[in-house]
Structure 1
């Protein structure tokens, strides 16, 4: 078979993965870890912000959610951009936005200004999530795709664990919550040269969109992967009429898109209630902010372990039943978090278990998204689900803040917010989709 008759996407799907593919997936995982730190930086800083500005829980809940609104907008529009101009430029744009937003957050002097800066930061984080999910799915072979996507998702809690430990050290050393954002801005900038060096545009995108010099760019990547270059591009994909967002609601796709979005929305309510409110809840119990941040670190240790466990199990068990089970167990664990635990040890253990199941479910959900959408819709589909679903992420901390302000205790709030991920598991069990292997 000549090189001209080979579709390189089929080669990527069926052949063992080259070290260059593994490196690209590794960078995407590190980018997701950066997202994890950037999103939770406000959680680590929140006790100091509440102390310095004297704001109540309702106002703090709004501040904690602002970058989640931004993430929804960013995922929706930058995710669509990733299908138009490419995964790599979308990631680079997202990094610039994130770095600027984190730097500006360290200069904020009011709730309103900080909220605007966090909203802006969230635009970049949302675009990053959609683009990295597409890159990992398209750089992996078919056998390891679920594993690779789950590992990438596991970067999120790892970033929170490592970043949280550093944030605790920074808070203890400086006494300034601003130092957390300054650190995040610096690390974000350092990723730009790494992406330029190690993350090429994906072959699946280049084959589908065929931008200028597509053949040369595909061949450059193939040669780096020790594969034979092409003499010409493979046959064009079937051209679909309408925008990619419209195609998500075409016959056969509409139900999948809507049910996945609802499942993600409901699950994110619970997940972000947990990770956003832990430091403030533990601080209000009388513990120092650095110790309260340690409980959040343990929640993310559980989250990282859950993502790795999910990634290994997907090699032997269907990913969807795993995610449904993890969601239901996560709902129980989150409800238990508010049931009278009052020592750092017990809070850390329950938070770790809750993080294990809720983030394990999140890791599996991203694998489901990668399966559910073809290459032509992967950025838009992932971006749409994340974009709309992030409204659930934002509503979780806000709802908790309003319930606390209305006089609800931690027990009732935990049970109420745990219902989100339980609903997400039930909805996901109803989804019927056909797995996409290559394009």
Structure 2
């Protein structure tokens, strides 16, 4: 079946029912996000062993824990723009190759500086991957399925931490040393390359925005893969519509407030979010009476279970109340949950429960931000805009372990509650910025020009 009127291919996907191939693509995006989650958290799982073997103090360990987060910032901005110019699929494949190499060579590192370099390189791939997978999830799902699909996609991140934590605490750390965590991540990352190459088509929205010479033929291949009607022609270009470039999201008066409020809101929330993800294992390992690394790592596993469930809950809440109200509530409760984590506990079960609650609300708010990325940016700048926002956000993520390490040094290692409260304030600032965010549909307002 062919639409002969020059229909917008994205509208065909938006308005049609979900096809099995679309569900496969969403599942693969969830798995890729899970892979990102494990790769990011691998240094946290390995941190007690690294600290013990090399005698690394907390403030120096914080720098290593931030290395991949800094890399993610660079990757989000640089490779996010690449995804809007060269395509989502080739960008994802390139990022997987970078991630696999970084994880493999991290397991061969002989010192903290060398390890930090490879973690930085891994982060570049992760940052680019997140911008591409976010765009693919939004562009391959119908309007009716998009909010829940985005929520499920985002909870892939903590699910990767859950699965990775179980593997790390039950198999890798008890039977090998910390290097096995990175090697496992390298193997899993490499295994995803052929799956993406074979099963994920380029999105019609990308071809519609970039208009290559054979755009209609390429779009029709993607539409056919999704079981949709093909098109005979594309809708006409709008002469004065924005161009797909980085400065457009900052200079355009309708995109600029969306970009800046999302970027800085996300940045402040990641300060809170990554405090738990990066420091929980080390905190529990050191807290009297002290716990062995595999047992301490179980706290992070429970934290990620909480994150997955919180993200799923927000997905359902957004279907009823849209994005803003549920996200604001999650941000406030994230502050409360992270502060409560700082009380300190005398049993591993209590630590697990506290981490579960903190990340339940923390990752729920992350789902709200990702849904806002997908809604607020038009297709021609979706990966660029998401990449920019994530890049700025990674400043908070990268700074989080360093800030926490510095606060422990200033206040003392025994001032866990005070440090946790200070780290939780990031979510409060994010709450204020998210309240100011205009909730507009980017695709409904803007069309790329030639």
- Shared fold, TM over 0.5: yes
> Distance between the aligned counterparts of 1:209 and 1:340, measured in 2?
53
- How far 1:312 moved relative to its partner? 1.3
- How far 1:185 moved relative to its partner? 0.2
Aligned position for 2:256 = 254
Aligned ranges 1:172-191 → 2 under 5 Å = 172-191=173-192
Q: 1:325 aligns with which of 311, 315, 329?
A: 329
Q: 2:398 aligns with which of 394, 397, 401?
A: 394
Residue-by-residue CA offset, 1:58-113 (whole Å, 9 max, x unaligned): 00000001100000000011001111001111100100000000001001111111
Residue-by-residue CA offset, 1:307-353 (whole Å, 9 max, x unaligned): 11111111111211111110100100100101132211111111101
Q: Does the residue aligned with 2:4 lie in a helix, a strand or coil?
A: helix
Aligned position for 1:95 = 96
Aligned position for 1:383 = 387
> Distance between the aligned counterparts of 2:210 and 2:351, measured in 1?
50
Confirm or deny: 8 A CA contact 2:102 2:122 kept in the other structure. yes
Aligned position for 2:136 = 135
Q: Does the residue aligned with 2:345 lie in a helix, a strand or coil?
A: coil
1:356 lines up with 2:357 in the alignment: no
> Distance between the aligned counterparts of 1:89 and 1:104, measured in 2?
23
Q: 2:277 aligns with which of 265, 275, 278?
A: 275
Q: Structure 2: where are the runs of 5+ without partners?
A: none
Aligned position for 1:124 = 125
> Distance between the aligned counterparts of 2:41 and 2:213, measured in 1?
39
Q: 1:413 aligns with which of 412, 419, 438?
A: 419
> Distance between the aligned counterparts of 2:254 and 2:226, measured in 1?
36
- TM-score normalised by structure 1 residue count: 0.97
Aligned position for 2:343 = 339
Confirm or deny: 8 A CA contact 2:344 2:351 kept in the other structure. no
Confirm or deny: 8 A CA contact 1:4 1:234 kept in the other structure. no
- How far 1:115 moved relative to its partner? 0.7
> Distance between the aligned counterparts of 1:187 and 1:17, measured in 2?
28
- How far 1:265 moved relative to its partner? 0.4
Q: Structure 1: where are the runs of 5+ without partners?
A: none
Q: Does the residue aligned with 2:319 lie in a helix, a strand or coil?
A: coil
Aligned position for 1:167 = 168
- How far 1:220 moved relative to its partner? 1.6
Aligned position for 1:302 = 306
> Distance between the aligned counterparts of 2:167 and 2:86, measured in 1?
36
Q: Which runs of 4+ in 1 moved over 4 A?
A: 237-243
* Matched pairs, number: 439
Confirm or deny: 8 A CA contact 1:330 1:421 kept in the other structure. yes
> Distance between the aligned counterparts of 1:175 and 1:200, measured in 2?
39
> Distance between the aligned counterparts of 1:242 and 1:233, measured in 2?
17
Aligned position for 2:81 = 80
> Distance between the aligned counterparts of 2:402 and 2:28, measured in 1?
33
Aligned position for 2:266 = 264
Q: 2:440 aligns with which of 430, 434, 438?
A: 434
Confirm or deny: 8 A CA contact 2:83 2:132 kept in the other structure. yes
> Distance between the aligned counterparts of 2:16 and 2:443, measured in 1?
13
Aligned position for 1:19 = 20
1:109 lines up with 2:110 in the alignment: yes
Aligned position for 2:71 = 70
Distance 1:276 1:238, change over 3 A: farther
The CA RMSD measured in Å over matched residues stands at 1.5
